[in-house]
Amino acid sequence: MQAYLARRLLALVPALFFASLIVFVIVRLVPGNVIDMMLAQNDVGADKLSRDQLIATLGLDRPMWLQYFHWIGGILFHGDFGRSLWQNTPVRELLGARLPVTFQLGFMALIIALCIALPIGIYSAIRQDTAGDYLTRSFSILMLAVPSFWMGTMVMVFPSIWWGWSPQVNFVAFTDDPLQNLKQMILPAIILGTALSAITMRLTRTMMLEVLRQDYIRTAWAKGLSEPLVVIRHALRNALIPVVTLIGLQAPILIGGAVIVEQIFVIPGMGLLLLDAISQRDYPIITGVSLVIGLCVMLINLAVDLSYGLLDPKVRYR
């Protein structure tokens, strides 16, 4: 187990190297005139001095490879992601403040997605080809097609017209008022979660159908075990591994969706930080956020791989 973990962590190194390279190169594609645009957009004044200052702050006056090593070295050795161009706050501080919010949103969405997907997926499988099965399956394909920003917009507009109710937009941190915070986060989490639940539901159904046809399930039935026992203990545990893998694969979709949901409900998470940084062309923040998101996705996938051992006693790490 430890050797496996060590090897997996080691394998993260090249992945992170490529990821940092991608982020770095994309942002360094900034054509020269974008600097003028930045100056014009932000009313810094397009005089010669601030232009040179800006180029120096961005580190664009040095060769590309040197810039890269300076940037990655800062992150690796000092945890230094640079400073925001306009607010002059360290990007690390901003990330530290925003990451927990997005994490909470994502976690709540995931729980909601599982609460929807697992029971319905299981139901759909054990009652295969009944009206309920068709209904839930059509629903899940439909959920795949509804864009979360449309659902979010409707939730903002219609309850307000019909009942004069609208979601609160002043963000309250979980540490300040947990109840208020949960009340505020539940709606965005539901929207994010239902979008996520669709694929999970489909896979749960497919996997359950496959497992329910196995010999050991027939044996379990033959022993006279009750339906819940057969379904939950014998079938579900064996069907769950691909479902968990899928959750790992969906991590990027979850985070991407969080950007949009945060924008609609004005939740100050990583997504809103990124969007604000993009509108201000605050490149150190953009690179920082992207890299941290990439790292999060990789760590989530690692955690998913490690969870196989807990779920499936047949899995041994070597």
SS3 content of the chain, % helix, strand, coil (to 5): 80, 0, 20
Closest CA to 122 of 248, 238, 246, 250: 238
* Angstrom distance (rounded) from CA 16 to CA 302: 13
Tokens of 13: 């190194």
Q: Minimum CB separation from another protein for residue 293, in Å?
A: 6
* Angstrom distance (rounded) from CA 246 to CA 254: 12
Q: Minimum CB separation from another protein for residue 301, in Å?
A: 8
Rounded to 5 degrees, what angle do the CA atoms 249, 95, 46 make? Answer: 115
CA dihedral 63, 69, 70, 72 (to 10 degrees): 140
Q: Which CB atom, from 29 or from 179, has the smaller least distance to another protein?
A: 29
Q: Minimum CB separation from another protein for residue 302, in Å?
A: 11
Closest CA to 283 of 34, 60, 58: 58
Q: Which CB atom, from 225 or from 241, has the smaller least distance to another protein?
A: 241
DSSP 226: -
Q: Minimum CB separation from another protein for residue 221, in Å?
A: 25
Q: Which CB atom, from 66 or from 141, has the smaller least distance to another protein?
A: 141
Q: Which positions lie near another protein, rule CB under 8 A?
A: 14-19, 21-23, 26-27, 29-30, 34, 141-142, 144-147, 149-150, 153-154, 156-158, 160-161, 199, 202-203, 206, 252-253, 255-257, 259-260, 263, 274-275, 278, 281, 286, 289-290, 293-294, 297-298, 301
Q: Which CB atom, from 173 or from 276, has the smaller least distance to another protein?
A: 276
* Angstrom distance (rounded) from CA 83 to CA 288: 10
Q: Minimum CB separation from another protein for residue 222, in Å?
A: 29
Q: Which CB atom, from 30 or from 72, has the smaller least distance to another protein?
A: 30
